[in-house]
Amino acid sequence: MSNAKKIPEFKTEAEERAFWETHDSSEYVDWRQALPASFLNLKPSTKTISLRLPEPLLERIKIEANRRDMPYQSLIKAWLMEDVEKGRRRT
């Protein structure tokens, strides 16, 4: 895009944010030249939930987590992820 407008210099992040909220980036950037980006170390955001479990089940999970030398919440997340992935492969 040879007719691209020059991106102005910004003094603050707030100034830049305000600019991009009111301007179309396609007038300033040739997105056809863009390359895919990969953020390998980006951690997914998490959300706290409340989950009620029968006490005997929670105790069994804690025992298994202790046997594997990991926090019981991490073990629950791992089991949930495994089950979801298995379900995806079946469909």
Mean pLDDT by 10 residues, the chain (91 residues): 82 94 92 88 88 97 97 96 88 67
User: Per-residue DSSP letters for 11-80?
Assistant: SSHHHHHHHHHHS-GGGT--GGG------TTPPPP---------HHHHHHHHHHHHHTTS-HHHHHHHHH
pLDDT of residue 51: 94
Delimit the CATH 1.10.1220 region(s) of the chain: 44-91
Fold of 44-91: Arc Repressor Mutant (1.10.1220)
